[in-house]
Amino acid sequence: MDESSEPQVSPIPCSFDEFKVNGTVCDDGNACTLDDACEDGNCAGPVCPGSTPCKTVYCDNFNGADQCAVSYAPVGADCEDGDFCTENDQCESPQDNVVTVCLGADISCDDGNPCTNDTCVPTGECTYEPALEGVSCKTAGVCIQGECCQDSCIGSGSFASCGFSSCGTACGTCLSEGSTCVESTCVATDVPTGMQLVQPGLSELGCSDSGESEACDLAFIEGDESPEVFVYLSAFAIDTFEVTVGDFDAFLIDIGGVDVSCGSVQPGPCVALNEAAWANLVSQGLFLPASHVTWLGASEYCASKSRRLCTEAEWEKAARGAGGKWPWGVSPDPNPEAPCVFASHGGVCGSGPSVIGTYQDGASAIGAHDMAGNGAEWTADTYAADIYQSYVDSGLITYNPTGSLSAQGIRVLRGGSFASPLKDLTTTARAFAPFDLQGVDSTSSTPGVVLGADEIGFRCCADVEIPSSP
């Protein structure tokens, strides 16, 4: 480059009568400067800006005229990308082997502990923060007291033998009916007739939005199903089948009929029911799931049996199968031409609900039927879209969670209905409805409520007293 190609500063554009205001746009007459502006009476701009570690922009004289030109460093040339968290920076050509950019390999901060969050900070140093209690390990299992428990007792513990986990805590399952695992010993447990025992211990709730778990296909999960979190649940029992029309009709007779004025959770009986809809349902069959029952009515029914509605976490634990995505496992209904193998869903298995227990192959691992499809099920919890995140943010394992303390009028529904698409039948899918929803068929004007009262049923849970080991 000769001297004529050096940037020339012209004082004229910025100083006719007096200096123009600094920053005023001007032209210094040099084709190799850009964004010219006045500065203390002089007009100048940066010379051919835009250079990067692997690209040099310079002023060149071409056919007697100055202009900016570009040259690239060869592939493999050393460079510095300005990121202290990369190393071995070199000029690479990811696209056309002509244009090169400076790329470095990320510094490895892996300390080998699956229960630390390993991070490179901007200064280039590695930090290792302990993971929150109860979150998933980087590999498999869950972090407990800074260690990754990968024992089969963790998470899908319904298939584990009675014993101790890798963290030294008692867990597991007794194969004999009516027994539970206490301090690595199987002891007899009193389980009410018509219910299934669910063992105590840690349980997965929700899905990781990374889609790594078999239970968490990103094509199926919604935002309120994540993040995945582990919670601890005491032993409980859950109804083998949904409460039937016949069951609830007998309850109505016992309490003397329907109290349509009921509208709160005050001492009952407190049952708000659309009488016409109920009479029509009774005429259709006593072994169908009891629908058109409000959350209040469902709660009262369970209380009359010395039981209660299941919490959302209890429901999910009882529903998760071997893989966790659907109660029966990791595969959806397999045959598009005959889709009604595991559950009644999508409106393709009939125009309404089916007799309870129709889909034997769709039972969950602990033996609960119709946990997917047929009737969506009331749970005890109030709904909050971010409730799982609040469990994670606490930094501790939540014991026997009961949902949000706000939005008291909105309750969680689980399992999907006979009209729900397959994605709403997964064990992690969540829905909600007003606690007093009644008499609405398959539609609702309530924002976010996609299930009608004819699609909603329920089942009950019960606390189970675990005796001491012998």
pLDDT for residue 25: 86
pLDDT for residue 118: 87
Higher pLDDT, 370 or 213: 370
275-289 pLDDT, tens digit each: 777 888 889 999 999
pLDDT for residue 447: 41
pLDDT for residue 297: 86
pLDDT for residue 260: 47
Please tell me the distance from the alpha carbon of residue 339 to that of residue 359, in angstroms, as a whole number.
Answer: 11
pLDDT class of 458 with cuts at 50, 70, 90: very high
Which of 57-71, 103-117, 126-140 reaches the highest mean pLDDT? 103-117
What's the pTM? 0.64
Residue 392 has pLDDT above 80, yes or no: yes
404-414 pLDDT, tens digit each: 766 567 899 99
Rounded average pLDDT over 95-123: 84
99-108 pLDDT, tens digit each: 788 989 999 8
Residue among 425, 243, 430, 241 at smallest CA distance from 340: 425
Residue 253: Cβ-neighbour burial (10 angstroms; 0-12, 13-18, 19+): exposed
Greatest Cα-to-Cα distance within the chain, rounded to the nearest angstrom: 106
pLDDT for residue 142: 67
Element containing residue 149 per DSSP (H, E): strand 147-149
pLDDT for residue 111: 85
Report helix, strand or coil for 106: strand
Residue 247 has pLDDT above 70, yes or no: yes
Of 45-59, 80-94, 211-225, the least confident = 211-225
Rounded average pLDDT over 192-196: 89
Higher pLDDT, 318 or 352: 318
Rounded average pLDDT over 198-214: 71
pLDDT for residue 210: 52
Rounded average pLDDT over 318-325: 74
pLDDT for residue 414: 95
Residue among 251, 453, 242, 460 at smallest CA distance from 352: 453
Q: Which residues pair with 295 in a beta bridge?
A: none
419-447 pLDDT, tens digit each: 888 888 889 999 988 877 654 443 344 44
For residue 47, the 8-state DSSP code is B
pLDDT for residue 6: 46
Residue among 14, 13, 77, 5 at smallest CA distance from 47: 5
pLDDT class of 244 with cuts at 50, 70, 90: very high
Q: What percent of the chain has pLDDT over 70?
A: 69
On average, the pLDDT of the chain sits at 77
Q: What percent of the chain has pLDDT over 90?
A: 21
Q: Which domains does the chain have, with CATH numbers?
A: 3-72 (no CATH), 108-142 (no CATH), 143-237 (no CATH), 242-463 (3.90.1580.10)
The number of residues in the chain equals: 470
Rounded average pLDDT over 347-355: 82
Element containing residue 318 per DSSP (H, E): helix 312-319
b/e per residue 27-63 (b: at least 16 CB within 10 A): ebebebbeebbbbeebbbbebbeeebbbbebebeeee
Rounded average pLDDT over 215-235: 76
pLDDT for residue 159: 39
b/e per residue 331-363 (b: at least 16 CB within 10 A): ebbeeeeebbebbbbbeebeebbbbbbbbeebb
pLDDT for residue 322: 55
pLDDT for residue 124: 87
36-53 pLDDT, tens digit each: 888 888 888 888 888 889
Query: What is the rounded radius of gyration, in angstroms, for the C-alpha atoms of the chain?
Result: 33
For residue 453, the 8-state DSSP code is G
Q: Which residues pair with 197 in a beta bridge?
A: 237
